[in-house]
Structure 1
Amino acid sequence: MTRAAEQRLAAMRRRLDEPPPENVAGQLAVDVPAVVSPPPESCGYGNPRCEAVPARFYPCGWKCDEHQPARTHRRRTNP
């Protein structure tokens, strides 16, 4: 290793031993409010609504296991 490289390495090591500055420009501490989670979604089937929880989202809306689209569609086959 050359003498210049050794000097640069020694300068970098000294720099790492220095304490960090108290305030870094552009990096101010900001109080961020805690995230408030929304209430869980409920089943929207029927009138009045079922309101069962837990519900899963389907293309036709939020449905519980009892009212999932496979069980509530209107298509009937002829016997």
Structure 2
Amino acid sequence: MTTDRPYIEPPPQAKATPNQCETGNPKCGKKARLFAIGWRCQEHSPRATRLKTTEQQ
């Protein structure tokens, strides 16, 4: 199977820095632990995010 479309190369991904929160732009950079979604500090952990959204309702 051939296609006439050119191959588009994806942009390079930044490497994760272990033990540093990778949330935000610029990155948070606080001491972090590894979650399924990546390195997160206590403030940006999945649990902290979920608690903030349920408190607002």
TM-score of the aligned structures, taking structure 1 as reference length: 0.39
Q: What is residue 17 of structure 1 aligned with on the other side?
A: none
**1:48 maps onto 2:26 in alignment:** yes
Unaligned runs of 5+ in 2: 1-16
Matched position secondary structure for 2:48: helix
Unmatched 5+ residue regions in structure 1? 1-38
What do you get for the CA RMSD once the two structures are aligned?
2.6
Q: CA deviation at 1:72?
A: 2.1
* Residue 70 to residue 63, structure 1, CA distance change in 2 (3 Å): same
Q: Are the aligned partners of 2:21 and 2:39 in contact in 1 as well (CA < 8 Å)?
A: yes
TM-score by length of 2: 0.52
User: Shift of residue 40 of structure 1?
Assistant: 5.2
Q: Which runs of 4+ in 1 moved over 2 A?
A: none
Cα drift, residue 41 of structure 1: 1.8
Which structure has more relative contact order (CA 8 Å, sep 6+)? It is: 2
- The structure with the largest alpha-carbon Rg is 1
